[in-house]
Amino acid sequence: MIALAETPRLAWLPSRAEGLRRLEAFLPSAGRRYAETRNYDQGPEAHDNVSTLSPWIRHRLITEAEVVRAVRGRHSFRAAEKFIQEVCWRTYWKGWLEMRPAVWAAYRGEVLAGLAALDEDAALRRRWSAAVEGRTGIACFDAWAAELVTTGYLHNHARMWFASIWIFTLRLPWALGADFFLRHLMDGDPASNTLSWRWVAGLHTRGKTYLARPGNIATYTRGRFRPGAELSERAPALSEPLHPAPAPLPPALSRPPAEPFALLITEEDLSIEDLSLQGCRVLGIAGAVCTAARSPLGAGALAVSFARGALQDALARSGRDLGLAPVPLAEGLAAEEVAVWARGLGVGRVVTPYAPVGPVQEKLEAIEVALRIEGIALLRLRRRWDEAFWPHATKGFFGLKRQIPAVFAQLGLD
């Protein structure tokens, strides 16, 4: 029998080809079967009731638009609506945070404060250590902690249960739980992860929390776990100042420039084939990951490995398609190294696929300054999917949900 820790090395291949293969295999189940079975967490080796496409979509090895187009080719909108909504939830989170970057900054501050508290409070550190090491004595929680670390993945329902138990039963700082997820998830996404934890805690939709209930866990794990009185029966919402009003989206290109440019690829968007680069004068390609910047504690080996492999795959594909030899930059997206690379090419502009709020965007801001000193412009290229959906992420998800048919018509996905 294959050990659990070995499974991801065999199954989670970080390539566009693997993402497309998984999508094709999932398509027959994307309609009624998904809607009826998606909430069941059947265990780490039995996630065939969901798509498991999230690591590939998160890094855009495959894009949301092509996933929806493939699903709509097999199912009516009504039959596949539950799956389509799950794809759009990630878009909603990204758009919401993009217009409120201060919420991400506040989360980063809370993580630092939480880690400092661990150094000052020995009892808190013991409780936190027990949680992240799966030693709380709550069987389901401990199993999910182990699954997260050893596979880099958790079923969405298990993520919600885990976050609820972390916050309301174990009474640990929510931001440290979000940090634990972001460090280890192969699909770890700053917007989806941060805002989902805030939603469970009652901070996103003010006062509305998510309580992990024993009966719900027993039902949707098909009896694998049957927690009892060890779980909190209450989930009082956490409080904080009102989050900021949405700001306008930052400007970005909708298509590549006509002038010559260099292409900088990051782990945020790796479907280079869909960026309309054919016919462009691309003088050089470089790329790097900065997965370790997700947390002051770095990132888990599986999250780093997936992002690194995904970038290597994208560099190989883009180099082949554009007839260039890509330059793999040192991990970390160092501004000085990017500036030296661009200066050596003699370009006046560097184009990069748009990176939403998060660690990569933070790195790009420093790169923009370094390039400007060299007289080089950094241009961000934003996809039509984001341009069409993000403006509808001003309030709750259901405002965006109502717009899905109209946006799909706009994008030619109806």
Helices (H) and strands (E) in the chain, counts: 19, 5
Whole-number pLDDT of residue 8: 38
Nearest to 322 by CA among 283, 374, 373, 368: 283
Crossing angle of helices 101-120 and 190-201, in 10° steps, is 70
% of the chain exceeding 90 in pLDDT: 95
Mean pLDDT of the region 360-383: 98
Does 101-220 match 261-382 in CATH topology? Answer: no
Crossing angle of helices 122-132 and 101-120, in 10° steps, is 120
Cβ partners under 8 Å of residue 369, min gap 6: 335
Taking only the tens place, the pLDDT of each residue in 295-349 is 999 999 999 999 999 999 999 999 999 999 999 999 999 999 999 999 999 999 9
Mean pLDDT of the region 89-103: 97
Long-range contacts from 168-173, C-beta under 8 angstroms, 24+ separation: 168/209, 168/211, 168/212, 168/232, 168/234, 168/235, 168/236, 169/138, 169/212, 169/230, 169/231, 169/232, 170/127, 170/131, 170/136, 170/141, 172/124, 172/127, 172/128, 172/131, 173/110, 173/114, 173/117
| Residue at token pair 């609506």 | 81
In the predicted model, is pLDDT for residue 7 greater than 80? no
Mean pLDDT of the region 201-225: 96
Confidence of residue 1 (pLDDT cuts 50, 70, 90): very low
Q: What is the C-alpha end-to-end distance of the chain, expressed in Å?
A: 45
| Residue at token pair 């956490």 | 238
Mean pLDDT of the region 363-373: 97
The DSSP element (H or E) to which 286 belongs, if any, is strand 282-287
Residues paired with residue 286 on neighbouring β-strands, in sequence order:
264, 327
Whole-number pLDDT of residue 402: 97
Mark 196-221 as b/e (b = at least 16 C-beta within 10 Å). bbbbbbbbbeeeebbbbebeebbebb
> How far apart are the C-alpha atoms of 215 and 364, rounded to whole Å?
46
- The domain spans of the chain are 4-98+390-411, 101-220, 261-382
> Between 3.90.1150.10, 1.10.579.10, 1.10.1740.10, 3.30.950.10, what CATH number should domain 101-220 receive?
1.10.579.10
Nearest to 172 by CA among 133, 204, 220: 133
Are 331 and 290 in contact, with CB atoms under 8 Å apart? yes
**SS3 assignment, position 327:** strand
User: Alpha helices, DSSP H only, in 221-334?
Assistant: 301-322
Q: What backbone torsions phi and psi does residue 409 show, to the nearest 5 degrees?
A: -65, -40
Taking only the tens place, the pLDDT of each residue in 177-203 is 999 999 999 999 999 999 999 999 999
Statement: the pTM of the whole predicted model exceeds 0.85: yes
Cβ partners under 8 Å of residue 375, min gap 6: 348
Whole-number pLDDT of residue 371: 98
Q: Which fold would CATH assign to domain 261-382?
A: Rossmann fold (3.40.50)
Whole-number pLDDT of residue 113: 98
> How far apart are the C-alpha atoms of 120 and 397, rounded to whole Å?
39
Whole-number pLDDT of residue 233: 96
Mean pLDDT of the region 369-389: 98
Measured from the Cβ of residue 146, the count of other Cβ atoms closer than 10 Å reads 16
Taking only the tens place, the pLDDT of each residue in 46-56 is 999 999 999 99
What is the chain's mean pLDDT, rounded? 95
